[in-house]
Amino acid sequence: MVNVEKSVEAKITKLETQSENKVMDLAASWYIAMQSKELGKKPQAIQLFGRPLVAWRDKLGKPVIMERFCSHMGASLAIGQIIDGCIQCPFHHWRYDSSGVCVDIPKVATPTTDVIPSTARQHTYVTQEKYGYIWVWYGSVNPLFPLPKFDPAESDKHNYMSYRFFSKTKTTVLRVLENSFDHHHVVVTHNLPIINQIKQTLLNKEDIKISELSIAKEAWFGTVMEAQIKSYAGVGAIAKFLGLNVETWKTRLDAWPSGSLGTTSFNGQQKIRVLSGITPISENQTTWHLLFMIKKTGNLWLDLLSYIVFGWQNEVAVSADVVIWDTMSAKTGQAFIKPDQPVLKFRQFYQSWVDKAQ
């Protein structure tokens, strides 16, 4: 009898492990599960990393992300209830705590509580809630580096206006991420009105002081793009009158394997800080989240105009990328030219973190 039970347990453990196998070529990293405001008091069915999951909040309101189907007989915990900070399965009412351990099986089913099988547990992910997003770590039990720091959306918030949006696209995570390093397309796809060419320089890890970084050095990839431009704001005389007309454009990107922090300056003045993050739903379903923090000037009308111009302009720019991504073959391409170097280098960097994912 004992042996039978043991072999049943072994089988279940095997199945459980299989369900956690990698289904996507994803870097070990921090991803966005959803916006904070999307997760209320009720559990919610979500899909991430190609896996069916459930998101809910524990007693303290901390987000929990765990595998969706109950370890007992597979009911969806997304239609369960939150009771005493635990999630209760809708079927036989087993309860799981925020670490995924089954802490209670109704007494009607078992005379004592010490028979909770050790396999009665749900795989859970490390989460963190920041900058209006629920972040989730993928690739190892414990995060290999801390969540990047983005002060414009936290301690330095009062100096900025925020413009948040997201785009859903039918391509891979890598195609979306590498787009930020593709300065070639910025001119032709997004019509950035440059005078000569964009100069892109990859930053050298050895030259950067740790204190300058908001991302752990081992998980950091940086680049600077600069150009002389005609008029970024593109609204001619009005822009000029309001002082939005610019001559030099410079963007520094500090990236981690699945996102980036951008700093854009016009005429040498920092104007926009951007947080970019990814929701990896399945192989060809990716959501790109962008949080633009636009520096306030103190002039209400100028601020309002720059908010509309920069916010709107960036949303339009992303929609031009989405048309390309939705129809492209993400696994194709082998003819490259010199301006593609930063993209190719980023691919190498990304792959080194795919290799770290277990």
Q: How far is CA 290 from CA 35, 39, 131, 198, 240, in A?
A: 11, 19, 11, 23, 27
Q: Which is nearer to ligand FES, 51 or 72 (CB)?
A: 72
Position closest to Fe ion via CB: 321
Contact call for residue 75 and ligand FES (CB under 6 A): yes
Q: Which is nearer to ligand FES, 73 or 316 (CB)?
A: 73
Q: Which is nearer to Fe ion, 254 or 321 (CB)?
A: 321
Q: How far is the CB of 95 from ligand FES (least distance, A)?
A: 9
Contact call for residue 91 and ligand FES (CB under 6 A): yes
Choosing among Fe ion, ligand FES, none, which partner's interface includes residue 179 (Cβ < 5 to 8 Å by kind)?
Answer: Fe ion
Site for ligand FES, residues 93 to 152, rule: CB under 6 A: 94
- Maximal CA-CA distance, the chain: 86
Q: How far is the CB of 75 from ligand FES (least distance, A)?
A: 4
Q: How far is the CB of 65 from ligand FES (least distance, A)?
A: 18
The residue range among 50-58, 66-74, 130-138, 284-292 that interacts with ligand FES, by the rule CB under 6 A, is 66-74
Interface residue list for Fe ion (CB under 5 A): 179, 321
Among 10, 73, 115, 304, binds ligand FES (CB under 6 A): 73
Contact residues: ligand FES, CB under 6 A = 70, 72-75, 89, 91-92, 94
